[in-house]
Amino acid sequence: MPRVLLVEDEDHLAAGIRFNLELDGYDVETIADGLRAVDRLAPPPEGPVWDAGPAIDLVLLDVMLPGLDGFQIVERMRQAGNYTPVLMLTAKSLPEDVVQGLEAGADDYLPKPFDLPVLLARVRGLIRRRDWARGPAEGQALVRVGEAEVDFASLEIRKAGETVRLTLLEAMLLKLLVERRGQVVTKAEILEKVWNLNPDTETRAVDNFVMRLRRHVEKDSGSPRLLQTVRGVGYRLVEEPSPA
C-alpha cells in the first residue's frame, strides 16, 4: 500500500485530503508544521541515529507553512539526498510560482482550489511516473550515456567513480531522451510528458534541467557533444559523441 506524507497546516484541507486518499487505499501520515516535516524528510546528518518511520512513496506539500515554507522543505529534502516524489499544493498559482516550485525540486504542482478527481489522478500519475522512471530503459537496467552509467532503478548516475542521485524529473527527462536516442525530442513534448504541463507553457525549466543533466553526463558541459540543443526545436541525445 503506497504511503503518502501530507504536509498541510490547514486542518480542514488535511482532513478532507486524508479521508479521500485513505478511501483510495493509501496509507496517509500528516504533519502540520514545516520544521517537523524537515525532521521527517531531511534529518540533519549530524543528528542522532534517525528512525523516521516507514518509507514514504509520495509527499503532498503545502507551500505556506508555519516554521519553514514548502520551497525550503523540498530544497532541504533534495540536498539531504531524499528524492521521494513531491506534489506541491498551494494557493500561489502564478506561472513563476509553479516554476519556483519545480526549480526547488518538486515533481508536480497543483494550485488551490483543485478538483478532487484531478488531485487523485495527479497522485496516481506521480507514483506511476516514478515507477516508469525507475523501470529499465532500452530493455536494460543499466544504460550508458557517454562515459556515464545510469541506473534508473535507483535513480543514480555514475561517472568517473562518482555517484550522483537524480531527481524524478531529471530521471524522467533523461529516460525520455535515452529512449529516443538519436531523435529530436521537442520542448513541448518534454513539458507534456515529463512536467505534466501544457506544451505552450513559457518556462526556462526544461533548459535548466538539460543544463543540469549535461553536468552529469558531458565531459565539458560548456560545449556539449552528447546532449545537443536543436535550435528552435528541442534536444537530442546523440548515439556517439561527434568528433571534436
Contacting residue, 43, 67, 125, 146, with other proteins by CB under 8 A? 67
Identify how many contiguous H helices and E strands the chain contains and give both numbers.
8, 12
Contacting residue, 2, 9, 192, 228, with other proteins by CB under 8 A? 9
Contacting residue, 52, 64, 141, 142, with other proteins by CB under 8 A? 64
Between CA 189 and CA 208 the distance in angstroms is: 16
Matching residue, cell 519556483: 100
Q: Which amino acid is at 211?
A: M
Count, residues near other proteins per rule CB under 8 A: 27
**Helix, strand, coil abundance in the chain, percent, nearest 5:** 40, 20, 40
Does 96 help bind other proteins (rule: CB under 8 A)?
no
Nearer to other proteins, 102 or 210 (CB): 102
Does 15 help bind other proteins (rule: CB under 8 A)?
yes
114: phi then psi, degrees, rounded to nearest 5: -120, 165
| Cβ–Cβ < 8 Å for 145, 238 | no
Nearer to other proteins, 66 or 135 (CB): 66
Does 116 help bind other proteins (rule: CB under 8 A)?
yes
Does 115 help bind other proteins (rule: CB under 8 A)?
yes
Specify which residues 150 forms β-bridges with: 143, 157
Does 13 help bind other proteins (rule: CB under 8 A)?
yes
Residues at the contact surface with other proteins, assessed by CB under 8 A = 9-10, 12-13, 15-17, 19-20, 23, 34, 63-69, 71, 91-92, 112-117
